[in-house]
Amino acid sequence: MRASTTIRLAAGVLPVIALLTPAATQGATTEAPVAEPAQVEAPVPEIDWTSCDLIYECATVEVPLDYDDPDGETTTLPMKRLPASSPDERIGSVFMNFGGPGGVGASGIQFPVSSMTFGKDVRAKFDIVTVDPRGVSGEHVATCAPAPDTEPVERPTEMAPTTPEQVEARIASDDYIRGSCDRTAPPILDHLTTADVARDMDLIRQAMGDEKLSYYGLSYGSLLGETYASMFPDRVRAMVIDGVIDPVGFTTGENGDDRPATGRWGMAAGIEEALTTAFARCDEVGALRCPLAGNAWERWQRVSDSLTEEPLALPGITIDGNTFKYGLSVSALQLYRIGGVPLPTIELLSGATKVIDVLRFGLGEPAARSGAELRVPGVGSVDLNAKRSVLLDRLGDIVRELHTEAERWGVAMPAAAEEEAPEDVLGGQGAYFGILCADTENPTDPRAWVDAAKEAAKTAPNYGPGVVWQSSMCAGWPGSSDDAYRGPFDTSTPMLIVTNTHDNATPMSGAEAAHSRFPGSRLLTLDSWGHTAIGKSHNCVQPEVDEYLLTEDLPAEGLTCKPDANLYG
């Protein structure tokens, strides 16, 4: 018998990070110098590769902990590469970063999948390389132990506090975590900026013997690419950014925008746009292809509201409003055909929503009850006329299928907090908060997030407040931002900018902003859902990316591609 578990996201952390309307918030913005593109010289490390995982090679590389003291203490970073299959024709290396901030590279599942999406000519002439960024793994991991002699403060479960009591509880929790980090964090917490990661990549580029960098950055990895290209404009050969963040919106905002960083991003609007358009497509294709067809968005909304008011207990799982909105729904969008793997997660979400809708509101008219059987990918058929206990059990199967894929791809939906005090008060999110808070300008008054959340709710009522509150930890963050790079963002290298039309985490607005900021760049669009375009268009996007990496020739202006597979098949 399975133990009962509440699948619930840790408060303030969405399973994705990437990143609306101008609005002032109270509280002064933290002052941050505009960094100059410093050309830091540090000893070039040696890399000793060994075979691993059949066709790959692994290594660790040693880089300075603090680039202001390049000959001082070092930290080690795990690396993995797919060696060029034709070394005599080798052009160089293609570095890949899979986002986060603080996401893994060498240690995760995405690299083996994504490295094989390149065409045979790219794999023949390039080593495909990835690195676990600093603070994520290796010698120095960004963690914070509970502050000694301090009463622990429980982390609230609400993604977006609404009542005064919930707001005060969130602020108290943030204070406790920041205080713990201030007293117990290792030195790496002061050296976690994207600029530090860019300097690591430049040093590793030299160690790989590459005169200039060739790069493919996904999601937050786009910001790393934009930062590297701006800091080292004469050291870039070819740069592809996919699932793109506006670097100015991320770091400082435009024209004195003093909202919290997460109030400046398009992520909340992106989630709602992706959901509403996916459900509009569901209505278009009909019930035979999408079981939720017939006012699908309205059905999702009433299911979400119902679960917020009254959680649903399934065999082994309790699903509440947070779980449904921020766990199942966002993960379904995030994981849809990720890296080209045919994960039908949006279809799974549609099936789960349909079953909950039936459980809570019934099948409707007698005509709707005839032949009420739906097929859910990876789960099989579900008879909507079955008794309640059977429907609950089948719903549990669907939810577990989504949860399994989320964990496999690192878009995990963590269980509710354990009773014992955690060893890391950041819950494994040290690199995430370390980079986010050091890179971005934020108000110093934590109550500025209250007004920003209200403003975000006007344009994204389901997700705006929750996304805004993601960065509340940054009000007085103890980690240093002295080495952060916050502009200017410019490069002499024409880069290839790739975007999905319905990307939930990094909507098209980020790619369009980056396209306008980088002269000579080219925008390549994929008309599809899911986060990033890699692996989803082998007949259009991938050949253009391969050609650019091989020859540095950009595709035609205004090219829009079709995906390999259509939503709802």
Query: What's the pLDDT score for residue 477?
Result: 97
To the nearest 10 degrees (0 to 180), the angle between helices 267-285 and 448-459 is 20
d(CA 210, CA 44): 12
Give the per-residue SS3 of 110-162: HHHHHHCCCCHHHHHHEEEEEECCCECCCCCECCCCCCCCCCCCCCCCCCCCC
To the nearest 10 degrees (0 to 180), the angle between helices 194-207 and 430-439 is 110
The CATH number that applies at residue 98 is: 3.40.50.1820
326 DSSP assignment: I
Question: If DSSP codes are grouped into helix, strand and coil, which group holds residue 372?
Answer: coil
- Nearest CA to 567 out of 336, 341, 324, 243 is that of 336
Question: If DSSP codes are grouped into helix, strand and coil, which group holds residue 49?
Answer: coil
CB burial readout 245-261, b (16+ within 10 A) else e: bbbbbbbbbeeebbbbb
Pair 135, 429: CB distance under 8 Å:
no
- 516 CB neighbour count, 10 Å cutoff: 11
Question: If DSSP codes are grouped into helix, strand and coil, which group holds residue 346?
Answer: helix
Number of domains present in the structure of the chain: 1
Half-sphere exposure in the Cβ direction for 423 (13 Å, CA): 3
Token representation of residue 496: 């290839």
Helix extents (H) in 342-472: 345-361, 366-369, 388-408, 430-439, 448-459, 464-468
- 105 CB neighbour count, 10 Å cutoff: 25
Note down the domain range covering 534.
1-569
Phi-psi region of 421 (alpha: psi -120 to 50; beta: other; left: phi over 0): beta
d(CA 218, CA 195): 17
Q: What is the pTM of this model?
A: 0.91
Query: What's the pLDDT score for residue 23?
Result: 28
Pair 398, 351: CB distance under 8 Å:
yes
To the nearest 10 degrees (0 to 180), the angle between helices 296-309 and 345-361 is 60
> What's the residue count for the chain?
569
Query: What's the pLDDT score for residue 496?
Result: 98
- Nearest CA to 156 out of 478, 472, 477 is that of 472
Whether the bond between 186 and the residue before it is cis, its omega within 30 degrees of 0, is no
Query: What's the pLDDT score for residue 296?
Result: 96
Residue for token digits 């699948």? 7
DSSP string, 254-312: STT--S-HHHHSSHHHHHHHHHHHHHHHHHHH-TTT-TT-SSHHHHHHHHHHHHHHS-E
d(CA 503, CA 531): 5
- Nearest CA to 541 out of 553, 527, 551 is that of 527
The CA-based dihedral angle spanning residues 500, 501, 506, 507, taken in that order and rounded to the nearest 10 degrees: 160
- Parallel/antiparallel/unpaired status of strands 74-82 and 126-131: antiparallel
Phi-psi region of 568 (alpha: psi -120 to 50; beta: other; left: phi over 0): left
Per-residue pLDDT of the chain (569 residues; tens, 9 = 90+): 323 233 333 333 444 433 222 222 233 333 444 444 455 689 999 999 999 999 999 999 999 999 999 999 999 999 999 999 999 999 999 999 999 998 999 988 999 999 999 999 999 999 999 999 999 988 899 999 999 989 999 999 889 999 999 999 999 999 999 999 999 999 999 999 999 999 999 999 999 999 999 999 999 999 999 999 999 999 999 999 999 999 999 999 988 788 999 999 889 999 999 999 999 999 999 988 898 999 999 999 999 999 999 999 988 788 999 999 999 999 999 999 999 999 999 999 999 999 999 999 998 765 455 457 888 887 888 999 999 999 999 999 999 889 888 888 877 554 444 445 568 999 889 999 999 999 999 999 999 999 999 999 999 999 999 999 999 999 999 999 999 999 999 888 899 999 999 999 999 999 999 999 999 999 999 999 999 999 999 999 999 999 999 999 999 999 999 999 999 97
Token representation of residue 28: 């002064």
d(CA 449, CA 468): 7
